[in-house]
Chain A
């Protein structure tokens, strides 16, 4: 589905953000990318849709080699990759509906988008997507009138309007409170499951990642240092990714969370808290 081969990025300042990264994400897999600040997580997902140009290496999505495309071909390829941002990156002064429909910009011509005359199919889809993320009441509000969790839902709906094959998600919960974070992560993972989407999620919160994803990749100093199921994240692994720290609390709680047979009270409480 998504293949990165020998991907490297060196910024003009000389910082080597990515060093020879190889990664495969099969269709439908939700993958968390963890690592300390500055490890290159944001650079990695921005290299996939070439918001940041990689210095070396290949990005292949399906049969398309993204890194070999011209500007126009890249535009068309970007429609297949939905992106969700930490600070939501909504256009603050546009309405919720305009923000959601902007996910369709790659599919409509300039004047149609200028006069907000989107195809009825796209408008129908926008309404049903807003309904799915629980925002049908807020269609005509301006984006800056919404709360953090609501804004992120608009961001998710915008990405969905692209009808993507993969989601690139940059710290979706870093600006949200713990409960909203869980709701957002659950929404993202549910949508991925419903539509068979793959996702690469940059995330700081290791415990949150462990609750929801099938695979964790640890990035440290631009290199992949861990790749496995969430259950394999041990104290030693976390020390390798983040550095020396007391990881026992993180590891213990995760152990309970990943065992599906274990009816764990802590986990249930968390689920309930997130579901309210």
Chain B
């Protein structure tokens, strides 16, 4: 970039010295701002509590082990319910996210001016509200129980799925679509032959990924009364039954590991 002659040689640097100095100043400001913010954030911290933390933590862990294994008998059904909330919610979301995704993708939307903004708005509003908050709203509308949980998971997932699917649609190879169009295929046939095979791996991957996330999210829905294992978690926390809490954590962990394995298999199968 910068060229300076020293005898026979040309001195080469990637950036001129002024840019290097400006970058250094930028980093300096960033570090200073971080320190300053940390100072403000910790103004109300009571440091003696923080210093005490290792002892408190050890005390809590001491009360949490050993887990109360016998409690497992009461967890089978809530865990099954949790899995069902996640799975049914994801299925509802997939059905609703597909048309939204095709309306949001630039290369498949019926109208960039009218339909696309509506689809994008659906995506943003679904994504901006956490499923716990959806559940809170739905429990007050539909009453407590797993139905509210299913709908909450579904509503939250539409935006996530539609966003990732429409990005996959926008990245497809246009020449394959062009070739199908050139055979005289209709719009629907072009979708099935030219577009769908190209997005299938991404679609399958995104769906099992969201299902995986939804299993984790549905474990806490019970905290607001929307069914699943969260109800047991809340009940145990309320009575300070720490050994039961430990067992719930273990069951959730096992389920999540299992769902990781399943989603890895599904993704592999669809490449």
Contacts and interface: CB of A to CB of B under 8 A. Distances in A.
B70 interface: no
B253 interface: no
Given A94-B193, A113-B192, A162 B184 contact: yes
B186 interface: yes
B120 interface: no
A242 B32 CA distance: 61
Interface of B: prevailing SS: helix
B179 A89 contact: yes
Interface string A179-202: 000000000000000000000000
A48 to B, nearest CB: 10
B198 A92 contact: yes
Nearest to A74: B184
B42 interface: no
Given A92-B198, A110-B188, A102 B193 contact: yes
Contacts of B192: 110, 113-114
Contact of B193 (A83, A87, A105): A105
B184 A105 contact: yes
A85 interface: yes
A269 B80 CA distance: 73
A106 interface: yes
A114 B196 CA distance: 11
The 5 closest A-B pairs by CB, nearest first: A106-B184, A105-B185, A89-B179, A78-B184, A79-B184
11 contacts: A51-B181, A51-B182, A75-B186, A78-B184, A83-B179, A85-B175, A87-B175, A92-B176, A94-B193, A110-B192, A162-B183
Interface string B188-208: 110011100110110000000
Contacts of A91: 176, 179-180, 193-194, 197-198
